[in-house]
A and B are shown apart, each in its own frame.
Chain A
Amino acid sequence: MTVLSTTPDTADLTLVVVADLAATPERAWSLWAEPRTLERWWGPPTWPATFDEHDLRPGGGAKYHMTGPDGTAAHGWWSFLAVDEPTRIELEDGFADEHGVPAAGMPTTRMVVELEPGGTGTIMTITSHFASQEALEQVLAMGMAEGMREAVGQIDAILAAG
């Protein structure tokens, strides 16, 4: 099992994913630092990502697009806020138009990636902050993740009983 936990935090409005990677932090760093490596995991097999630009340094950024099964391209951008090899990257991820220009009024996500020795090699903690994503923010703030699971559990029980 590589994912140790996924935790929506209702106080901080974050989703924290903790994973155990069987590699040194230096090697795990390349998952984020090497665009050709990044392309192998950022998008799902059905929507592979292509990083058209990737400049990993504070103040630098990346432009990428993901190509769907019908050829549709979805464009995105990253802005690197902090880069501390090989332990920490802070970036903002957002939607872009077909020229890679950040789309106005679209939600952005701030992500903090932390790598530290541990587990089978590296413990990677990815914290996604949804401050500008009103809907998800509300959901997390209200503890709906748990509430909805509870509700669905109730429904399943009711349906099974019916």
Chain B
Amino acid sequence: MGRCVTYNHVVVDQRTDEDRAADRLFRALADTTRRDILRRVLVEPASVSGLAARYEMSFAAVQKHVTVLADAHLVVKERRGREQMVRGDVGTVRQAAALLEQLEELWRARVDRMSAVLADLDPGPRPDPGRP
């Protein structure tokens, strides 16, 4: 994700190519039909024509959606005989989920550090160790 990664300065060193890839990734995912196609082909590879039969849109429109997904490396297109087969790219999907979780993780880690800092800052009602 622009990451996400952009989203925080922790990963700022990874911006650039990875960010652009993330932008493509999330643009690809920002469409209901494409998400639906992705869910299907993650479970089982499908042909473009088989997918087209499932949606109320032209073969060309479905093919376009598949291309957007393929550009984002969410799916892989493979020619099998006359059929163009589409299967989900598990690695990329995992990456997308990981990027989202990274943002939450960033804040969990910050809160942990805050707690540690507060515990350290607060002298509290500790007994005086008696040192000078």
Chain A residues with a Cβ under 8 A of chain B: 2-3, 6, 8, 15, 17, 19, 21-23, 27-28, 30-31, 37, 40-44, 47, 66, 68, 72, 74, 76, 95, 107, 109, 124, 126, 130, 133-136, 138-139, 141-142, 144-145, 147-149, 151-152, 154-155, 158-159
Contacts and interface: CB of A to CB of B under 8 A. Distances in A.
Contact of A37 (B22, B110, B117): B117
Nearest to B38: A151
A136 B39 contact: no
A154 B43 contact: yes
A21 B110 CA distance: 12
Given A6-B107, A155-B94, A66 B9 contact: yes
Contacts of B100: 8, 139, 144-145, 148
Contacts of B22: 135
Nearest to A49: B9
A140 B93 CA distance: 16
Closest 7 CB pairs between A and B?
Answer: A41-B113, A74-B12, A138-B30, A135-B26, A6-B104, A23-B118, A19-B111
Given A3-B112, A135-B2, A148-B93, 16 more contacts: A2-B112, A2-B115, A17-B104, A19-B111, A19-B114, A21-B111, A31-B118, A40-B117, A124-B111, A136-B26, A139-B29, A142-B35, A148-B96, A148-B100, A151-B42, A152-B94
6 contacts: A17-B111, A27-B118, A41-B116, A107-B7, A124-B114, A138-B27
A14 to B, nearest CB: 11
Contacts of B57: none
B113 A152 contact: no
A138 B107 contact: no
B18 interface: no
B122 to A, nearest CB: 6
B121 A27 contact: yes
A43 B107 contact: no
A15 B90 contact: no
B85 interface: no
Contacts of A41: 110, 113-114, 116-117
B108 interface: yes
A31 B114 contact: yes
Contact of B7 (A136, A145, A147, A155): A136
Given A27-B122, A72-B13, A155-B94, A130 B114 contact: no
Given A2-B115, A133-B2, A23 B122 contact: yes
